[in-house]
Structure 1
Amino acid sequence: MGRSQELSEFKRGTVIGCHLCNKSIRDISWLLNIPRSIVSGIITKWKQLGTTTTQPPSGRSRKMTERGQHMVKCTVCISRQVSAESIAKDLQTSCGLQISTTTVGRDLHGMGFHGRAAASKPYITKCNAKHQMQWCKARRH
Structure 2
Amino acid sequence: MGKKGDLSDFERGMIVGARRAGLSISETADLLGFSRTTISRVYREWSEKEKTSSERQFCGRKCLVDARGQRRMARLVRADRRATVTQNTTRYNQGGQKSISERTVRGTLRQMGYSSRRPHRVPLLSAKNRKLRLQFAQAHRNWTIEDWKNVAWSDESRFLLRHSDGRVRIWRLQHESMDPSCLVSTVQAGGGGVMVWGIFSWHSLGPLVPIEHRCNATAYLSIVADHVHPFMTQLVPNFLWLLSAG
- TM-score relative to the length of structure 1: 0.51
Corresponding residue of 1:85? 86
Deviation string 1:109-137 (CA, Å, 9 cap, x unpaired) is 2222112123779xx42527x49x7xxx8
Task: Trace 1:66-105 onto structure 2 (pairs within 5 A).
Answer: 66-105=67-106
Closer, same or farther: CA 102–24 of 1 in aligned 2, 3 Å:
closer
Corresponding residue of 1:114? 115
Aligned residues: 114
User: RMSD of the alignment, in Å?
Assistant: 4.1
Task: Trace 1:1-141 onto structure 2 (pairs within 5 A).
Answer: 11=10, 14-20=13-19, 21=21, 22=23, 40=33, 45-49=38-42, 50-51=44-45, 52-57=52-57, 58-118=59-119, 124-125=157-158, 127=196, 130=198
Gaps of 5+ in 1: 1-5, 28-38
C-alpha deviation, 1:72, in angstroms? 0.9
Identity among equivalent positions (%) equals 16
Rounded Cα–Cα distance in structure 2 between residues aligned with 1:127 and 1:83: 39
C-alpha deviation, 1:101, in angstroms? 2.1
Rounded Cα–Cα distance in structure 2 between residues aligned with 1:82 and 1:106: 16
C-alpha deviation, 1:75, in angstroms? 2.5
Rounded Cα–Cα distance in structure 1 between residues aligned with 2:106 and 2:16: 50
Corresponding residue of 2:230? none
Closer, same or farther: CA 73–17 of 1 in aligned 2, 3 Å:
same
Closer, same or farther: CA 59–19 of 1 in aligned 2, 3 Å:
same
Opposite residue 78 of structure 2, the aligned amino acid is C
**Structure with the larger strand share:** 2
Structure 1 stretches of 4+ with a deviation exceeding 6 A read none
Structure with greater Cα Rg:
2
Highest RCO, 1 vs 2 (Cα 8 Å, sep ≥ 6): 2
Higher mean displacement: 85-94 or 52-61: 52-61
**Structure with the larger helix share:** 1
Q: What is the DSSP-based 3-state SS (H/G/I as helix, E as strand, rest coil) of the residue aligned with 2:117?
A: coil
C-alpha deviation, 1:98, in angstroms? 1.8
Asked if structure 1 preserves the Cα contact closer than 8 Å seen for 2:8 and 2:54, the reply is no
Closer, same or farther: CA 45–73 of 1 in aligned 2, 3 Å:
farther
Rounded Cα–Cα distance in structure 2 between residues aligned with 1:44 and 1:79: 57
